[in-house]
Amino acid sequence: MLLLFFSCQPSVCVTHGPSKYLEVWDLPNDQGIELPLNSMHQPVDEGVRTFTGFLGTIVWKPHICPIKYLDWRDMPAELKEECWRLVEIESEKNRDRHSKQEDLHTSGSCSFSMHAAKKVLTDGHPVERAALYSILHTRKDGSTVNEVVKEKMDKMKELLVEPSNQLQSNNTSGSIAWAPDDVFAKVMGKERKSRIRGVGFGPSPSGRSSKSAITNLQIQSSQSRDDKVAQLKASLVEMQEKLSTFDKMKERLSQFEEMEQRMACMLQQVQQITSQCSQVGINDFDFGVSNG
């Protein structure tokens, strides 16, 4: 939650003005800044701050966000006072809400998704919101924000010891694992309709939980396996057809070889008969000459 606190006292601190992020605006057309996203479409890199800061400079660009008064100094005083009054009202509302909150986090400007991405890189496995809760509500010296938070953290840690309470997810993109009945929900209560606690900006109850994502993944895996089996069966039928054709060709080749052997035998017999006939003719010719 963004908390705005304002004071009517003039500031004596000299600032350098708003960041212009000229290095981003002046990037060549063929270059860009990569901003990795997790499966929930949340930024998970250090470039998040550059990205959000760059978005802030857009309102200073009249040709991008046109307003009636291009210069703040040309804005009438009554409009400035009205803007200031609205800011003070909103600031007081946030101040009042903040004073009533007990579940305060210590993540600072670093988003929940960035903390989750760092945890995944360190541990090598997905992180669920109950485990991330301890990280986001512990100070640098190791102490908790308050006793109420400490009691909740202890309950979550106690429940996470049981393997049956742990979410089984293989998503290592930096998304925070959650489910309607996970450890976080058992300690903190059911979710509201508008948002999901403990996962940062973006995910909503209408989106897929880690359990439904796993179910869909199993369905996709089963479908992929069935497709591969179907492909293998088709390949097997094709190979059987080719083998049958090969057997037929082999059988015909064997028949041709048998016919060739028969023809060779017949040719040999013809040659023998021809040779015998030739010898008989010669003998008859010699006999006739001698009798004469």
Q: Give the C-alpha distances (Å, rounded to integers) separating 150 from 97, 131, 159.
A: 21, 13, 14
Rg of the chain over all Cα atoms, to the nearest angstrom: 43
Q: Which tokens is 240 given?
A: 């059987």
Residue-wise pLDDT for 61-119, tens only, equals 655 554 776 776 766 677 667 656 755 765 565 556 556 666 666 666 566 777 777 77
Query: How high is the pLDDT of residue 93?
Result: 55
Q: Are 103 and 187 in contact (CB under 8 A)?
A: no
The shares of helix, strand and coil residues in the chain, as percent rounded to the nearest 5, are 60, 5, 40
In the chain, the percentage of residues whose pLDDT exceeds 90 is: 0
What DSSP designation does 72 have? G
Average pLDDT over the chain, rounded to an integer? 69
More confident residue, 253 or 63: 253
Query: How high is the pLDDT of residue 216?
Result: 47
Residue-wise pLDDT for 2-49, tens only, equals 444 444 455 555 555 667 777 776 766 555 666 667 767 777 666 677
Give this prediction's pTM.
0.40
